[in-house]
Structure 1
Amino acid sequence: MTLLPIVERCDNFSLDTTKEQLVPFHLSKDSTVPVGFLYPSIVQHLLDYNSAPDHWRPNAENNATADEPPFGVSSSRVYFSPSITTFQDRSALCKHLCEKWRDTGLFSDVIGGRLWRNELYPIYPLAMRDNTTEGAAFVMERVCCALFGFVTYGVHMTMYTEDGRIWVPRRAKTKQTWPGLLDNSVAGGIPYGLKPMESLIKECMEEASLPEEIAKNAKTVGCASYFYQTRTGWLQPEVEYVYDLCVPAPDVGSQYIPKPLDGEVESFELMTVEEVIQHMRSEEFKPNCAVVLLDFLIRHGHITPENEPNYIEILTRIHARFGFERYPNGVNTSSAE
């Protein structure tokens, strides 16, 4: 039986096939590649924000056009106004906008209450290039990125023993998202200011009580990428930096046994490959974690062209490009036709 449905559960959206109307979000009026895509409802809320007397303004002393609306809105794009061109100004505007939406109860099912993380994610001009701290165009509160269809980034590590078993955590039932599901050995988003390995080392200690001297032995093995649409319709294109960490079996090296620390993980269990695949088929894993495990199983020879009829499609879809550059004027809009 094919494992393709595991991929389809996560890589479940395409700009090429959607029938939904999406307006591109650009850094400027003249840019050629969008950084995100907006539903018309979000565009309307941005227009409302533009007309609000308390919308954010750049320093008027340094900018003659400080009183113009912060967002440019046309039939083919939304963009930062010509007065907002720096990392600091874009970030300050997004902070003010998102906090206003949160405080007034807009999109409470996405950004309200405990869902708000107080964690800033970097947004890059090009999703697959210059993904460094210096290359970021601005930052935005983590949970708000899905409202704009921005690409976000994370680190996912598979910790496995020398005899081929995999350490699998169960997410705490109190987690804001995907409570109680199975996860990758260690995983987390990359906040602004941290490099991927720095994020992984931080997550290893916070989630699994693994000190830096163990975590730094993880091997960088590539990336996984997919275009995910949430159950409520928001767009979450994501890129995960993928790591492997081979450790001794528990009876050989007890210091390599992961243990919950920060309350995000309920427990860890050492599973065979067969058990992992069974849990993946029964949808017990968080969808993107199942994709990272598929990548692991392919690289380690457990999934092959001989035992998986959809091997090529699985392989290509878990290393997807999002296609932003093909839709500078939007998707299913009058300007895109």
Structure 2
Amino acid sequence: MPLVIGSQRYGWVRRSDVESLCRWPDVFEISSLAVRIHPRHDTCEARTAALAPVVETLAAEGRITGWRNERYAIRQRLYDAPLAWIERAASRFFGTRTFAVHVNGFVPARFVGEAPKMWIARRSVLKATDPGCLDNAAAGGIGNGIGVGDTLVKECWEEAGIPAHLANEARPGRTLHILAEIPEGVQSEQIFVYDLALPRGFVPVNQDGEASAHWLCSAGDVRDVIARGKMTVDASLASLDFLLREGAIRVKDCPGIEALFKPAEE
């Protein structure tokens, strides 16, 4: 169901989770059509204060998992003023839009007609989401007060040991828009995809414990792990975007993928 603030939708709440919100009538107005933040909470500060005990209670009950102790804004576009602030882990429960950067680290092909190779990471088994799954060379959510470029540089260093002077050479791919029901709730995310050519002698080394290993893979190997569901959905789509633009796969091999590069339906 839509999560509404004022007259606009800012998130999605699974119908199976709506009942758990009925005990806070001072925070939510719930109908058969939508979950609305009560209009008495008419400022960012008021909404933030009203939602905080709700989120804490839901987390204590196990309905919100993977607590990050990090604030995420409720907003539709990255640089919009926030409507409220909530714990990052709650963004999936309320289906509020999040933003992330994914970096396709690759080694350019040696010969004409040859596909580039891609660096693939394995996520730590301790990660709150998708533990142990395969991922892009570097990726991460865009946090409070950090822009796309700074997030890219930060994640490149933390996840793969890529220095800033190399990370700044990344070139933009396309922007993905994901709206999907997941175990934690609803993922509504805009992903900024970047491609980064890495020197042949460079080997990624994780710095923050969030990746356990990196491998240099052929385009065929990347296609295979995606087809077998071994890679996160986000990283799979970012990798497919790169492989499509490089001509390593064809659009007809990925039916429906072009729709993901358009804004999700409001």
TM-score, normalised to structure 2's length?
Answer: 0.89
Partners of 1:229 and 1:39 in 2: CA distance: 8
Partners of 1:78 and 1:279 in 2: CA distance: 39
Partners of 1:273 and 1:309 in 2: CA distance: 14
From 206, 230, 233, the counterpart of 2:158: 206
SS at match of 1:82: coil
Contact conserved, 2:174 with 2:241, CA < 8 A, in 1?
no
User: What is residue 323 of structure 1 aligned with on the other side?
Assistant: 265
User: What is residue 85 of structure 1 aligned with on the other side?
Assistant: 42
Partners of 1:49 and 1:295 in 2: CA distance: 43
- CA 1:304–1:41 in structure 2 vs 1: closer, same or farther (change >3 Å)? closer
Deviations 1:13-57 (A, max 9, x none): xxxxxxxxx3x21112xx1x311222344333322123xxxxxxx
Structure with max Cα Rg: 1
- CA 1:99–1:275 in structure 2 vs 1: closer, same or farther (change >3 Å)? same
Counterpart mapping for 1:59-74 below 5 A: 69-74=26-31
Partners of 1:119 and 1:233 in 2: CA distance: 17
From 29, 52, 64, the counterpart of 1:95: 52
Compare the two structures and name the one with the higher strand fraction: 2
SS at match of 2:89: helix
From 117, 125, 129, the counterpart of 1:165: 117
Higher relative CO (Cα under 8 Å, sequence separation at least 6) belongs to: 1
Contact conserved, 1:139 with 1:192, CA < 8 A, in 2?
no
Deviation at 1:118, TM superposition (A): 1.1
Deviation at 1:75, TM superposition (A): 4.0
Partners of 2:20 and 2:130 in 1: CA distance: 28
SS at match of 1:292: helix
User: What is residue 186 of structure 2 aligned with on the other side?
Assistant: 235
Partners of 2:189 and 2:105 in 1: CA distance: 21
Deviation at 1:309, TM superposition (A): 5.0
Partners of 2:254 and 2:214 in 1: CA distance: 31
Amino acid corresponding to residue 321 of structure 1 in structure 2: P
Deviations 1:216-263 (A, max 9, x none): 221122211222221x3722122101111112211xxxxx43101111
SS at match of 1:183: strand
Identity of aligned pairs, percent? 28
Amino acid corresponding to residue 242 of structure 2 in structure 1: F
From 96, 106, 118, the counterpart of 1:150: 96
Q: In angstroms, what is the RMSD of aligned CA positions?
A: 2.0
From 205, 218, 225, the counterpart of 1:259: 205
Partners of 1:43 and 1:77 in 2: CA distance: 9
Partners of 2:254 and 2:140 in 1: CA distance: 29
From 4, 16, 19, the counterpart of 1:44: 19
Amino acid corresponding to residue 144 of structure 2 in structure 1: Y
User: What is residue 273 of structure 1 aligned with on the other side?
Assistant: 219
User: What is residue 221 of structure 1 aligned with on the other side?
Assistant: 173
Aligned residues: 260
Amino acid corresponding to residue 186 of structure 1 in structure 2: A
Contact conserved, 1:183 with 1:285, CA < 8 A, in 2?
yes
Amino acid corresponding to residue 123 of structure 1 in structure 2: I
Partners of 2:124 and 2:154 in 1: CA distance: 19
Q: In the alignment, is residue 196 of structure 1 matched against residue 148 of structure 2? A: yes
Amino acid corresponding to residue 48 of structure 1 in structure 2: R
